[in-house]
Chain A
């Protein structure tokens, strides 16, 4: 059974700091991995999608890496801003079948202090 774990559960950093969020998964047979952002009481916004054949994806100040063999992914946020404060969720899509069911971690709650 695929399990997704995110560490740390919560993180508080001063504005301008670079930070790394971690995600691990137990079954390496994934189709892809996505990082999402969720603001309080809101839906999910997709940040980055990494296919299983890729090692990393970049979008602006965000960089996500994927190491399937070790079952790990990291989300790097450069020069953090107060507007980055949110919960960050990673999710894996399992290989095979005609579905793109996502299995989520429990998230990392990020607070960027001005």
Chain B
């Protein structure tokens, strides 16, 4: 049973460019959350998708957008990249949005903005 997978593993972009990160949830999971983890910090919640809709959003600008597909996989898009967007981007999946469920995290995508 494959866990949460993310692609690509690493990415280098320049300021002003756009990037798309991808996530496939664990089998049987229907909810995907995205987190940004800057170096030396804990992950920060970006947003969560359930039933192909954004259910809740953290304190991130509109440059950060997402999508969930009918197969529950998800994309995170970041436009007009800034140096401060350099971070590890983590995807987490769970079944429904119940707080009772353990969230499973993927290995992350390391984004470097030059």
Chain B residues with Cβ under 8 A from A100's Cβ? 31, 33, 48, 94, 97-99, 101, 103
Most buried by A among B44, B45, B50: B45
Partner of A97 from the list B56, B90, B108 (CB cut-off 8 Å) is B56
Is the Cβ of B102 less than 8 Å from the Cβ of A101? no
Q: Which of B60-114 contact A (CB under 8 A)?
A: 88, 90, 92, 94, 97-108, 110
How near does chain B come to A31, taking the closest CB pair, in angstroms? 4
A43 to B44, CA, bound (A): 14
Interchain CA distance A102-B33 in the complex, whole Å = 9
A30-74 contacts to B (CB < 8 Å): 31-32, 34, 36, 41-46, 49, 51
Counting contact residues on chain B (CB < 8 A from A), the size range is 20 to 34
- Flag if B104 contacts A46 (CB, 8 Å): yes
CB contact between B103 and one of A31, A41, A97, A102 (< 8 Å): that residue:
A102
